[in-house]
């Protein structure tokens, strides 16, 4: 059971890397600042750095995504419950990546915890709203606003020109790295919590496993989501891309420090959309299906987790 749980968490981390590593560097590729291969390598390195930092800075998110307060502690200690959550999150993440939809690992894990918890018979609805749903609803709205405001400020300060300069390229790479770092810091403890709840591997080795799997997913399987993020949300020039990254890094890092489980996906896409709305280049034919995928993600992962939990209970009574 513990081997299966470890394997399932590794799959979740791989799917997370494939679906999310490119979010921080999408504007580098989309604005023509750098090639896909350079962008994906930079994402892997800076995300891994964030994963390592999570070992020291993300204790509050570890507690939140262990499920404590959302479902009974006796249930959290059951490997079959955690296996159903991890398996559902892995399946949902891989499916979204296959179709090129940038979705939220936070949403996926929340839905999986919810589905397995309800099937087991006990979920704290108040905890669900305060610690999970509220931050997830607010983050994309704040990101759109941040993208609009920060682009206007940076444009006024001449820090977001329409053409490439050495200074802008340096700031653009740094902001992309900051987003990836913040994402690694934000997402790693959410997945590590599935192993720590049963005392398996320990915090250090659990996060190392997740770091390696996330890097592999981003390097091997990010291409389809990369195309969506870089070219199908909005057209952008280097200055606009830098503004979107700056807004994303600011919001996600603030959420990390506060222990709020916001979605880097929602923030990054929201910031890009804010830029697209400002420049009137938002591609709504792609944006609307992406938003629909966000709505579907949570109930889908909840349903899959419920099915896995029922199956696990019949196999391991």
Q: What is the pLDDT of residue 260?
A: 64
pLDDT by residue for the chain (317 residues), tens digit each?
A: 788 888 999 999 999 999 999 988 998 999 899 999 999 999 999 999 998 888 777 665 565 555 556 677 777 777 888 899 999 999 999 999 999 999 988 888 888 988 988 888 777 776 667 666 776 677 788 889 988 998 889 888 888 888 889 999 999 999 899 889 988 887 888 788 787 765 666 677 888 899 999 999 999 999 999 999 999 999 899 998 899 888 888 887 777 666 666 677 888 889 989 999 988 888 998 989 988 888 898 899 999 999 999 988 887 66
Record the pTM: 0.85
Long-range contacts of 89-92, Cβ-Cβ distance < 8 Å, separation of 24 or more: 89/12, 89/15, 89/301, 89/305, 90/8, 90/11, 90/12, 90/14, 90/15, 91/304, 92/297, 92/300, 92/301, 92/304
Query: pLDDT digit string (tens) for 219-269?
Result: 999 999 999 999 999 989 999 889 988 888 888 777 766 666 667 788 888
Query: Is the separation of the CB atoms in 175 and 245 below 8 Å?
Result: yes
Query: pLDDT digit string (tens) for 64-90?
Result: 555 556 677 777 777 888 899 999 999
Convert 260-290 to b/e letters by CB count within 10 Å (16 or more is b): bbbbbbbbbbbbbbbbbebeeebeeebbeeb
Query: Whole-angstrom Cα distance, residue 70 to residue 131?
Result: 9
């Amino acid at each position: 059971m513990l081997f299966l749980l470890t394997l399932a968490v590794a799959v979740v981390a791989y799917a997370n890397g494939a679906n999310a590593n490119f979010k921080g560097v999408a504007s580098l590729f989309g604005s023509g600042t750098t090639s896909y291969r350079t962008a994906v390598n930079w994402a892997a390195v800076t995300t891994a750095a964030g994963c390592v930092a999570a070992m020291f800075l993300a204790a509050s998110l570890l507690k939140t995504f262990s499920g404590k307060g959302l479902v009974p502690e006796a249930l959290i200690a059951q490997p079959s419950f955690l296996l159903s959550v991890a398996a559902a999150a892995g399946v949902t993440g891989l499916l979204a990546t296959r179709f090129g939809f940038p979705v939220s690992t936070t949403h996926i894990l929340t839905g999986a915890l919810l589905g397995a918890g309800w099937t087991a018979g006990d979920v704290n609805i108040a905890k669900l709203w305060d610690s999970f749903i509220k931050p997830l609803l607010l983050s994309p709205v704040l990101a759109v606003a941040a993208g609009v405001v920060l682009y206007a400020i940076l444009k006024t300060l001449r820090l977001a020109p329409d053409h490439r300069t050495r200074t802008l390229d340096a700031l653009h790479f740094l902001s992309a790295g900051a987003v990836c770092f913040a994402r690694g810091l934000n997402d790693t403890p959410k997945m590590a919590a599935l192993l720590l709840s049963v005392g398996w591997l320990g915090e250090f080795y659990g996060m190392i496993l997740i770091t390696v799997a996330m890097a592999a997913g981003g390097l091997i399987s990010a291409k389809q989501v990369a195309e969506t993020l870089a070219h199908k949300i909005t057209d952008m020039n280097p200055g606009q891309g830098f503004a979107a990254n700056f807004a994303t890094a600011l919001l996600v890092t603030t959420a990390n420090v506060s222990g709020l489980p916001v979605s880097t996906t929602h923030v990054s896409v929201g910031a890009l959309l804010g830029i697209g709305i400002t420049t009137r280049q938002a591609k709504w034919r792609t944006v609307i299906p992406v938003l629909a995928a966000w709505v579907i993600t949570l109930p889908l992962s909840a349903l899959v987790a419920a099915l896995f939990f029922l199956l696990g209970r019949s196999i391991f009574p």
